[in-house]
């Protein structure tokens, strides 16, 4: 069954800690994306990668980092430099002849 999987579903972070959100896809898609969602603000692009070993900053990359060592995986690290990390994070992928994005089920990160 092909799809895109985010884990964990819920994550709690203490102030000053780095945390890593996982995103894995078995759709053989080249492009992968991370979005942050806050109430009333829609989805904002954090980072994207259109090919393995390459990634680009989105609109709100400060305080975040990513890697793309494998086609299937695009983990997002929320660093201690991100001052307001509490949000819902969505990962997506796109590729081949398909023009739409496929989304994971999201990770809700809360700072405690």
Partner 1 sequence: AQSVTQLDSHVSVSEGTPVLLRCNYSSSYSPSLFWYVQHPNKGLQLLLKYTSAATLVKGINGFEAEFKKSETSFHLTKPSAHMSDAAEYFCVVSVGNDYGGSQGNLIFGKGTKLSVKP
Identify the residue among 11, 22, 30, 79 touching partner 1 (CB under 8 A): 30
Should residue 52 be labelled a site residue for partner 1 when binding is judged by CB under 8 A?
no
Closer residue to partner 1 in complex, CB, 18/110: 110
Cα(27)–Cα(65) distance, rounded to whole angstroms?
A: 23
Task: Give the integer Cα–Cα distance in Å for 76 and 83.
Answer: 16
Cis peptide before 8 (omega within 30 of 0): yes
Tell me which of 21, 92, 109, 111 binds partner 1, using CB under 8 A.
Answer: 92
Token couple for 110: 């809360």
43 binds partner 1 (CB under 8 A): yes
Residue 66 · residue 77 · CB < 8 Å: yes
Residue 2 within binding range of partner 1, rule CB under 8 A = no
Q: Is 16 in the site for partner 1 (CB under 8 A)?
A: no
Q: How many Cβ atoms sit within 10 Å of the Cβ of residue 82?
A: 22
Neighbour-count burial of 13, counting CB atoms closer than 10 A to its CB (0-12 exposed, 13-18 middle, 19+ buried): middle
Residue 72 structure tokens: 């299937």
56 near partner 1, judged by CB under 8 A: yes
Between 61 and 80, whose beta carbon lies closer to partner 1?
A: 61
Q: Footprint of partner 1 on this chain (CB under 8 A)?
A: 6, 30-31, 33, 35, 40-45, 48, 50-51, 56, 58, 88, 90, 92, 94-95, 98-106, 108
């Amino acid at each position: 069954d092909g799809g895109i999987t985010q884990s964990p579903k819920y994550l709690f972070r203490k102030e000053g800690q780095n945390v890593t959100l996982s995103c894995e896809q078995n759709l053989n898609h080249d492009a992968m994306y991370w979005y942050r969602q806050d109430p009333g603000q829609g989805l904002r692009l954090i980072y994207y990668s259109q090919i393995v070993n390459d990634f680009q900053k989105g609109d709100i990359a400060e305080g975040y980092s990513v890697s793309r060592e494998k086609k299937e995986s695009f983990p997002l690290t929320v660093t201690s430099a991100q001052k307001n990390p509490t949000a819902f994070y969505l990962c997506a992928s796109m590729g081949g002849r398909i023009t739409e994005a496929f989304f994971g089920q999201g990770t809700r990160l809360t700072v405690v």
